[in-house]
Structure 1
């Protein structure tokens, strides 16, 4: 077995598992951290490898934006904030006169652009209001400009700018050889269209029904926020036939809505505890992970080998998803744990929700607005209930409104209420009352909550203060939150609440340092911690090998055989024992482990079986078998040997003995050799005092002893008389 991680530490999981002849891809996520270092680049992929382009400084970024119409230049219908672009070198002589510029942090490009954009908005706000006093909010658009003709050193042609992203690094992997893709939840599916639509991947994909539907919604939201032009296709710059491997940068534009549909159509839905048989001996079973609707852990069985894949799991009991199912660990000998809650930086849901509720209540009491950048999925459904209950106790439940702003807000809110079978038992019972299992359905029906595709149009007309706004992109790089921060960011009574544990809070808020609104940073994390994982595994004796990411453990020493001593980062500082061995896997490094089973079952072909004639030995039948072993679709079969030059599996040509030694027959055989009066002793051997019989004799002047035991016969004598004893001993057994 070989396991390789393709995603950076802390990002949504993407692992490649090679077990026997199978190549399995475990999840295919696109991490939030990968959004930060990829600003809008002019000219798409071609500019990345062009030596005539170099990063520009903050001052040059601002001047370029001003010459192109200012940082507030927008394109109608686009919903992405545009960072500054690269500036071309003019000529060789001019380059020599300039001092070489250092590579600046690309996140500062975002900061400089959004700061300049805020200033531009403040300057033009009064002018827009004078001409259009009731004009609705317009979302921040992607700046477009004429591309720069490098060859003529002038801006002449026309080309748009686009976001670029870095999918998992598939370098060194034959994507055409991937047999199966297993998706554990919809947070780990964003990069899947890059695999299915732009590579030679031909395998099968499995996921639960909620994972497929919410994955479709998150992909749609992703393209709406970060797609430079949703009517075009990345195939203009990334050929369909080229593999998704670019050693220099590995950057690609966002896929399209057509790619989403084609990708989703390739996924086969499965249910919890449904057994799937593939390629002969490969069997897959999905078990509830307790993390979100439809989140699953996978039990992978190939022959006698069982492996459990645990990803994004939760043992939180008061949330809406179905509870964590640990039955997959009862027989799994190997466990792969992924996407574990980091030891530091995150807050458990029970402890953090009180802080979130108190900050929201304080803001509402001050007639301020609350911004919660998040996707309309996951524990947000439970947070709405907790927040509404807290505000009700404070007497504030009728003084505000909820707003859900996302291109897929309506679909996500409605779909979540029809998935009762994937929910916790207490939520399932509400369906039979009948009552909507989620509180937001009741709030939408009462008019206390509304959903909107964007901040322009109906949102501006329906807006009431104070309000609590959910939605937008958690990275604060695109979508409704960018606009609302510009509009409400300079009012101290407003608050922004950061709850996504995957977001780099410092990087997300860096462009908004000058805003005076309150900032509540409380990343709520419901994923399994390393302590919880250790406690769960203590209940099951079957797992012998456990693989964890490097964030959950570290190697403290090296043993004589070269293997590292792993120490977990839990409270007990757990280490490997004789019963259970812990192994650390890192990004880009392959971890290998031998299979625990020494034998594997093989089928006999019908033609070979016809020539086998078993012999009975005391109720058990045996027969010698020789043939040619073939392996196809992970299934082994013995066939008759045809032709020459093939590897043959055959038993030894020597006689095989079967049966137990009979003392009377042995004495009769020794008498034929002239041994008339052997000495027979009954004694015991071993710690358990098992019985044995010793037959001592003398043959041709040489002493000898034959020891008879239940499952073995021992002959002790000189080599000169051993051939003489062979015949009487063989007569006591049956030959095979």
Structure 2
């Protein structure tokens, strides 16, 4: 995990240490949820929704801001709740998390992996298939067709709650989000991120509350749907809801509840069935659940009863709580006898089209009827407009219809309110909180309230509320820990011991191992490169040894198998005198050995030009008379070195005038080469470099030495 990371307000030196979070949707808006996380070369997308207020490509997240081919994984947090649409923008609020998934998988260059929970995948094909079927838009405006949906379905990988998934350095775990069946929060460990998606911290009649992960979180990305609003207590809310429904049917009216096919609908069905059972006087009033997918949705609930709360599991052991005694499924309007009071739960939940819109237009002129809105309504939808109780509405045909029916709002929306959200943020204790999925004003008020709440905390909390395509960049610099394994770990280390091995980085983890362990732990075979360069060298072997020992200390002198004189340097580099004019270096190529070899070569190349070499080679054994030696040196480059007494090199240094003259001439010849010439006088030489000329009187120079 990222428990050791610390945030620094310092210049960024390594872009790999930058965590970037970009909202391609749901940034200061509710709809088309889509976030992209980039960290250490990995890219993860969270959700792929559609905006309820737009059509066609305009409803998509801003996918053109990224290269889909670079996305490694796509995680879907929530199920896709059906809405019986007649036109494209009229779909369920929950489609804002996943309805563009077929488009992203089939119409872009995305080649990564996509994950969602088992219940979410179970209803994915049904709901989006129905969404495609009932969408009444031009062919050019269709984002995908039935075949795209089926192909995308095969690419989805289903996961369980608490299942840890790891691949290519990405590790994540899903947790129960409590919002609807199958809704998940994702803990992404490449950067210590918890993404809540839509979540609820309140247990209801069938779902558990969202979990609180027991690990440290560095960055919390959370919804802000309700801003600073507070929900009324559940029991009070249920009592007010059943009271409103009772009043409407008791006055002979029809009660319309626009709902989503899966999610809050099941909660409301449980409440109404229980209330009707407790009130025999209402048994003659029918309750209808109008959804072509009702039976399939109920089948999903029965299949995944283990993912619900303990109360519903205990009840399921006795009887199936989703087999209702007072509720009938209404597949289409042909089966509906619109006579007398009734309760009708119909989709879509925002009255944009479909059966709920049809019934709303039919019933709204009658003041006996009532509209009970039970979920969050996106800005720009008819349900949101109806909550303002306007005197009239515009029908789908364009006609004006008076609005006389009662309109009430009871929030059964399974989103956190301010109290639940702020408490969750406080318990998570993340130093960075990113707000998404909220309208601009609500998000701004929430951000201000959270900043005030956490202002006095010792550990500072930074709150971010990015707009779409506005990246949040966080710099994390942490310790890198490497674990010794294999042969290196076989022995307990000694204090101050130097450990030599190979560091292997895989999936953001570092291991140190012996080269011989690479095949076992990494499946990598090793090879050895032997370097054997040849260098021109015209001086003696003893002079070579002298200079190398000045640099590397005492050297081992041996004869190899071919009786070639060999010097071994630091147990890694061998220098062989293979001929009078050549040396050969041999070593096994490693980073360290190559550096040592470079140093050895540098020393060898400077031996013949070194003043120390001149001084050492100035031995009287090589000089007979001044004139002869001077003349010979001007014609001969070969200077032999007496090797009889290597133990005391100073004994080889002669201090006579003749040897000093010999040394000076040798030095000048080595330095200037062909630029040196003899004058007529045997005691003078000239050194000519470019247009300059120096005349040297050897006798005078030596006598003044």
TM-score (norm 1): 0.57
Structure 2: gaps of 5 or more residues: 1-18, 80-93, 388-392, 396-400, 516-525, 532-589, 597-705
* Structure 1 residue 653: Cα displacement: 9.4
* Structure 1 residue 273: Cα displacement: 1.1
Distance 1:550 1:310, change over 3 A: closer
Distance 2:246 2:328 in 1: 20
Distance 1:614 1:288, change over 3 A: closer
Instruction: Give the structure 2 partner of residue 257 of structure 1.
Output: 146
The residue matched to 2:296 in structure 1 has which SS?
helix
Kindly tell me the number of residue pairs found equivalent between the two proteins: 475
Distance 2:38 2:462 in 1: 19
The residue matched to 2:186 in structure 1 has which SS?
strand
The residue matched to 1:260 in structure 2 has which SS?
helix
CA contact (8 A) 2:373 2:410 kept: yes
* Structure 1 residue 391: Cα displacement: 4.4
CA contact (8 A) 2:451 2:463 kept: no
Instruction: Give the structure 1 partner of residue 472 of structure 2.
Output: 591
Selected match of 1:544 from 417, 431, 436: 431
Distance 1:11 1:318, change over 3 A: same
Selected match of 1:479 from 336, 339, 354: 354
Distance 1:555 1:427, change over 3 A: closer
Instruction: Give the structure 2 partner of residue 67 of structure 1.
Output: none
CA contact (8 A) 1:182 1:207 kept: yes
Selected match of 1:277 from 152, 158, 166: 166
Selected match of 1:511 from 394, 398, 403: 394
Selected match of 1:419 from 292, 304, 312: 304
Selected match of 1:185 from 78, 89, 99: 78
Distance 1:355 1:325, change over 3 A: same
CA contact (8 A) 1:552 1:568 kept: no
C-alpha RMSD of matched pairs (Å) = 3.9
Distance 1:575 1:171, change over 3 A: farther
Selected match of 1:387 from 272, 279, 292: 272
CA contact (8 A) 2:172 2:186 kept: yes
Distance 1:253 1:632, change over 3 A: farther
Selected match of 1:212 from 115, 121, 124: 121
Distance 1:583 1:263, change over 3 A: same
Is structure 2 residue 33 aligned with structure 1 residue 13? yes
Selected match of 2:112 from 190, 200, 203: 203
Distance 1:315 1:555 in 2: 19
CA contact (8 A) 1:6 1:14 kept: yes
CA contact (8 A) 2:23 2:35 kept: yes
CA contact (8 A) 1:372 1:499 kept: yes
Distance 1:624 1:410, change over 3 A: same
CA contact (8 A) 2:418 2:446 kept: no
Q: How does 1:607-618 map to 2 (within 5 A)?
A: 618=494
Selected match of 1:458 from 335, 340, 343: 335
Deviations 1:258-295 (A, max 9, x none): 3222222211111111111111x322211111111111
Is structure 2 residue 410 aligned with structure 1 residue 522? yes
* Structure 1 residue 622: Cα displacement: 3.6
* Structure 1 residue 575: Cα displacement: 3.2
Distance 1:482 1:291, change over 3 A: closer
Q: How does 1:625-664 map to 2 (within 5 A)?
A: 625=501
Instruction: Give the structure 2 partner of residue 314 of structure 1.
Output: 200
Distance 1:388 1:267, change over 3 A: same
Instruction: Give the structure 2 partner of residue 159 of structure 1.
Output: none
Instruction: Give the structure 2 partner of residue 436 of structure 1.
Output: 320
Q: How does 1:399-414 map to 2 (within 5 A)?
A: 399-414=284-299
Q: How does 1:13-162 map to 2 (within 5 A)?
A: 13-32=33-52, 34-35=53-54, 38=55
The residue matched to 1:426 in structure 2 has which SS?
helix
Distance 1:287 1:355 in 2: 32
CA contact (8 A) 2:33 2:437 kept: no
Selected match of 1:489 from 344, 352, 364: 364
Deviations 1:529-557 (A, max 9, x none): 3432332344455x33332239599999x
* Structure 1 residue 377: Cα displacement: 1.3
Distance 1:635 1:613 in 2: 17
Higher helix share: 2
Distance 1:340 1:480, change over 3 A: closer
Structure 1: gaps of 5 or more residues: 39-162, 238-251, 557-563, 655-736
CA contact (8 A) 2:30 2:378 kept: no
Distance 1:613 1:458 in 2: 75
Distance 1:583 1:466, change over 3 A: same
Distance 1:616 1:317, change over 3 A: closer
Distance 1:633 1:342, change over 3 A: same
Deviations 1:700-735 (A, max 9, x none): xxxxxxxxxxxxxxxxxxxxxxxxxxxxxxxxxxxx
Distance 2:594 2:427 in 1: 46
Distance 1:602 1:511, change over 3 A: farther
* Structure 1 residue 178: Cα displacement: 0.7
Is structure 2 residue 251 aligned with structure 1 residue 363? no
Instruction: Give the structure 2 partner of residue 4 of structure 1.
Output: 22
